[in-house]
Structure 1
Amino acid sequence: MMFEGEAEAWLGIDLGTQSVRALLVTADGTALGGGTAPLTGRRDGVRHEQDPGEWWKAVCTASRAAMSQRSARVRLGGLAVCGTSGTVLLTDAQGRPLTPALMYDDGRAVEEAARVGMQTSWALPKALWLLDAYGPGRVTHQPDVITAQLTGGGPVPTDSSHALKTGYDAEHEVWPPQLAYLGEVLPVVVRPGSRLGEVCGAAAEATGIPAGTPVIAGMTDGCAAQIASGALRSGAWNSVLGTTLVLKGASASPVRDDAGVVYNHRAPDGSWLPGGASSVGAGALPTGVDPAKMDDRAAAYEPSGALTYPLASPGERFPFLAPDATAFTLGTPVSAADSWAAVLQGVAFTERLCLDYLHYLGAPIDGPLTFTGGAARSAYWNQLRTDILGRLARVPEQIEPALGMAVLAAYAAYGTGTEAGTGTGARTLPEVADRMVRIRTLLHPRASHTARFTEPYARLVDELETRGWLPTPLATHTRTRLNQDTIDS
């Protein structure tokens, strides 16, 4: 119940690789408070683990910091939690961790991945590896550990977004028959936005979150970032550029891809969030330099004298599947700035190729494009990407997955009943996001700059095809689009 003079806010919690972030946001997108806490992991070759116990400690620290900034007249309407896609562990019947968490990029489940026909980064191969290595347990996704602690009721259902890479059939909303042999090892699954329970007294004392606060089923961090971008109407896309590049969009129906490069999350309202994850990104940039200074110097090299395919790690997943792909540079950069420019441009060329692939599959791509991720802090790179893509782009004020979870928590209230304090009816997720996501910058492509990059983009497509990584039908489709764009301009 709301009282006169009260405001309502929602808490988003993001379980990242290096930290936990909590963000308290009002219905109009005002950030009232935030908190962070570091996480550590263990990396050794293809091994990447975290201690699930660290997650809860970090959530307590980050949440207390965020909630400490809340006025007494602000009521917390709910919270949701996102985690890294593909991170999985085993728990006991009470939801207590039995194993370390195998992180999203742990690469040990090679044999299991081949057996089930999935990438090693997906959760099902890693879950099978854990069951073989540690024995019986319940397959559990990263946020489930936290929601179980928050509600105090043992195991909680997982959301279909995190379950997708464990083999869940999001279209029919069931575990597929081929996984029936796993039985109760697999969790109960609900749609994102479903109510999982309420914050219990012990969790309230540990986190500063009021007891009784609704706990809402979240989504993966990529989907959370998409919600935070507002790219939720059919044809809209969010390009998340950090260490690697992820594109996620909205569609009324699933985007079919026989190659398995593009996968589809189910949105809370039953529509679809197709997307793909590339291995190119800012992780290919050299370290130990000032990025802002290098951006300034890179502006003199448009286009660069070198052509770079900037994989941050070996193997490519999107816009084509090539496990043996490696980074390469054609030509010799004349300076460190030229080399920097080649990486920035190479990422943008791959981003354009991703959009060409989506068009090739028949996905709607005619809506707005939003830039998020750590690299969206670079004004120069944002404009460069806009020029190379040749389309309008926008950058939100907040670019954090935690905001997306706050929006989802608000949707759980607004989307299922009367909006608190206004008397208006239920709102769709895009409508709630429109109110809470603030756009900071609109970027317009400069036609003269776009034309500069036509030839190097075509050369990259040719080279990728020649190396046998880019399928010829896609290369042909890309060249056709490029030729049409050249004629139209």
Structure 2
Amino acid sequence: MSESRTPTLDGVWLGLDLGTQSARCAAVDGTGQVLATGAHPLTGRREGRRHEQDPEEWWTALAAACREALAGIDARRVRGLAVDGTSGTILLADAHGTPLTPGLMYDDGRADTQAAVVNAAGAQVWQELGYRSMQPSWALPKLRWLLDREPAAEGTRLLHQVDLVTWRLTGHQVASDASHALKTGYHLTEERWPEKVMAELGVPEGMLPGVVRPGTVLGTVCADAAAATGIPPGTAVVAGMTDGCAAQIGAGALASGAWNSVLGTTLVLKGSSPHLVRDPSGVVYCHRGPGGTWLPGGASSSGAGVLSQHFHGENLEVLTERAAALDPDAVAYPLVSTGGERFPFRAPDAEPFVIGEVPTRAAEFHAYLLGVACLERLCFDHLDLLGAPVDGPLTLTGGGARNRYWCELRADVLGRPVRLPEQAEGALGMAVLAATSSGVPLEEAAASMVRIGDEIRPSPARTARWTPLYLRFVDELTRRGWLDHAVAAHARRRAAP
């Protein structure tokens, strides 16, 4: 009689991450220890609303990052890998996987005309899926934009960014993951492509890839890929997720009501819900997580990027120290983008503003720190109004989380504890997801591999101090016509003693 095998996290798991500026690989063991990392830069072309990268560079950069990471460890211990990429980034390739177009990046905004066509054709489906409409930067409008410029030849394939990589890793085309397929119009509840919508849009039958849930084993590393990357042949290749979801897994924000707030150039919130969260305003959308979970979230056009815009070249540590010593009465709306706001409200005409006096650079600096915290609180008020569970543990990640005072300020404005993981990048999240190929459930793998470094508890007195300023911020957004009155009223109700 054969013995049943108990799932185990023994071995090394690789997380591969395709960011905007670099490709990264992290080798992680089953306890969450990062054994080695590798990184290689990526280049892109930006001009107005155009943002492209060379898809071949994704593969060569990731291969170099993998070789660097594996140079210092025993590669024979590697058991599996998963890949994340930027959400909505696509290309067209031929039947052999050779790119036919540049990679149209996640924020390429040239498909505004096509977005209107896509939203007219798929209105009912997009409503069912909760996000109501697609933005020009989403994948399906960009696919229509590519097809409008040149009809697809026989055998042409639509690939998401990671699909090119998994094709190279396995040596043949494999299924895409539902996380990357979301912005191409994949029907997440029925788990199929909406054929009538695609036919109306003129997307050729056979162009779209097959789709599986994240965490599904797609195949194994082939000999050619092993030679290029140093990853042992036969290593399991696991269906990944978009970069925001990867960071959420890396932060361990997987229990119902748990959230990860990523503060980089812009603010991105990702949470976990037992049900699909639908947003009539269309600023929140849900990924389908591994298993039966849903991962609601939104990406703002505001965030820490305002610091590099307004305080470029200044010593931010000194400014933080001086700002922390103040008791200012000013808050700034920290909009980074010139294209308006995306979350927690949609306002194409939004522009930055400051409430109150900022007589010094430190006071101005504090106003922007506080503005991000207020915007973050408004995000949670909006999510709560939609019925999303928001009361679970909250982790803070991204470059902004390295500023201790800012984390304390955010905890005080939110009035809730925040946790700071030791390591929460997308590559770690993909290593955790890869580890599920051993049979261990995702939450169990995350519990073992995600390490929380610190927890910051709010000061009730400071929460009370900042709440009136938060409500002034909400009132100003409402007065300018950007914030819906129902959201503003809900924010006031939640702020009431």
TM-score scaled by length of structure 1: 0.93
CA distance in structure 2 between the partners assigned to 1:246 and 1:363 by the alignment: 16
Output the amino acid matched with 2:142: K
Given that residues 99 and 134 in structure 1 are in contact (C-alpha distance below 8 angstroms), is that contact kept between their aligned partners in structure 2?
A: no
SS of the residue aligned with 2:380? helix
Counterpart in the other structure of 1:120:
136
Alignment of 1:90-105 (within 5 A): 90-105=92-107
Q: Percent identity?
A: 58
Which of 278, 285, 288 lines up with 1:256 in the alignment? 278
Residue matched to 2:192: 174
CA distance in 1, matches of 2:136, 2:330: 33
Q: Which residue of 1 aligns with 2:431?
A: 406
Q: Distance in 2 between matches of 1:7 and 1:273?
A: 28
> Aligned pair 1:143/2:159, yes or no?
no
* Structure 2: distance between partners of 1:96 and 1:436: 36
* Alignment partners' CA distance in 1, 2:55 and 2:74: 31
| More deviation, 199-208/114-123 | 114-123
**Which residue is 1:424 aligned to?**
none
**1:11 counterpart SS class:** strand
1:7 deviates by 4.8
Q: Secondary structure at the match of 2:409?
A: helix
> Does 2:379 align with 1:357?
no
Other structure's SS at 2:206 match: helix
CA distance in 2, matches of 1:228, 1:79: 14
**CA-CA distance at 1:71 after TM superposition:** 2.9
Could you tell me which residue of structure 1 aligns to residue 321 of structure 2? 296
Match in the other structure for 1:200: 222
The within-5 A match list for 1:60-75 is 60-71=63-74, 75=77
Q: In the alignment, which of 172, 177, 184 is matched to residue 159 of structure 1?
A: 177
Partner residue in 1 for 2:62: 59
Please give the alpha-carbon distance, in whole angstroms, between the structure 1 residues aligned to 2:221 and 2:346.
42
Mapped to 1, the partners of 2:331 and 2:422 lie a distance apart of 32
* 2:103 maps to 1:87: no
Q: Which runs of 5+ in 1 are unaligned?
A: 415-426
* SS of equivalent residue, structure 1 residue 185: coil
Match for 1:465: what amino acid?
T
Partner of 1:419: none
Amino acid in the other structure paired with 1:160: A
| SS of match in other structure, 1:35 | strand
The letter of the residue matching 1:362 is G
Aligned mate of 1:388, from 413, 416, 427: 413
Residue aligning to 1:313: 337
Size of the aligned set, in residue pairs, is 466
> 1:160 deviation in Å?
0.4
Residue of structure 1 in register with 2:40 after alignment: 37
Secondary structure of 2:227's aligned partner = helix
Q: Could you tell me how far 1:332 is from its partner in structure 2?
A: 3.7
Structure 2 letter corresponding to 1:312: V
Q: Report the TM-score, using the length of structure 2 for normalisation.
A: 0.91
Q: How far apart are residue 305 of structure 1 and its match?
A: 3.8
Distance, in Å, in 1 between the alignment partners of 2:424 and 2:320 is: 21
CA distance in 1, matches of 2:10, 2:442: 20
**Does 2:482 align with 1:469?**
yes
Distance 1:33 1:82 in 2: 18
2:442 matches 1:429: yes
Q: Structure 2: how far apart are the matches of 1:216 and 1:94?
A: 21
Give the corresponding residue for 1:423.
none
CA distance in 1, matches of 2:459, 2:164: 47
Amino acid paired to 1:170? L
State how far apart, in whole Å, the 1-side matches of 2:90 and 2:98 are.
13
Please point out which of 237, 252, 260 is paired with 1:215.
Answer: 237
Per-residue deviation, 1:298: 1.4
Conserved 8 A contact 1:305-1:334:
no
Q: Distance in 1 between matches of 2:231 and 2:424?
A: 23
> What letter corresponds to residue 456 of structure 2 in structure 1?
L
Corresponding residue of 1:129: 145
**Cα deviations across residues 444-479 of structure 1 (Å, max 9, x unaligned)?**
001121112111101010011111110001111111
After superposing the two structures, state which structure 1 stretch, 176-185 or 89-98, moved more.
176-185
Cα displacement (A) at 1:337: 1.2
Q: Which residue of 2 aligns with 1:420?
A: none
Spell out structure 1 runs of 4+ moving beyond 6 A: none
Cα distance between partner residues in 2 of 1:306 and 1:392: 24
1:22 aligns with 2:31: no
Q: How far did 1:109 drift?
A: 0.5
Corresponding residue to 1:339 among 364, 375, 383: 364
Name stretches of at least 5 consecutive residues in structure 2 with no aligned partner.
120-133
The SS at the match of 1:218 is coil
| Cα offsets for 1:180-199 (capped at 9, x unmatched) | 44221211111111111111
The match for 1:417 is none
Structure 2 equivalent of residue 459 of structure 1: 472
User: 1:123 and 1:20 mapped to 2: Cα distance?
Assistant: 21
CA distance in 1, matches of 2:86, 2:442: 22
- SS of equivalent to 1:184: coil
Counterparts of 1:275-294 in structure 2 under 5 Å? 275-285=297-307, 286-294=311-319
Query: What is the identity, as a one-letter code, of the residue corresponding to 1:100?
Result: P
CA–CA distance in structure 1, aligned partners of residues 404 and 323 of structure 2: 13
Structure 1 CA distance for aligned equivalents of residues 315 and 62 of structure 2:
32
Counterpart contact for 2:238–2:437, Cα < 8 Å: yes
- Alignment check: 8 A CA contact 2:355 2:473 kept: no
Superposition CA RMSD, Å: 1.5
- What secondary structure is seen at the aligned counterpart in 2 of 1:69? coil
Q: Distance in 1 between matches of 2:477 and 2:326?
A: 23
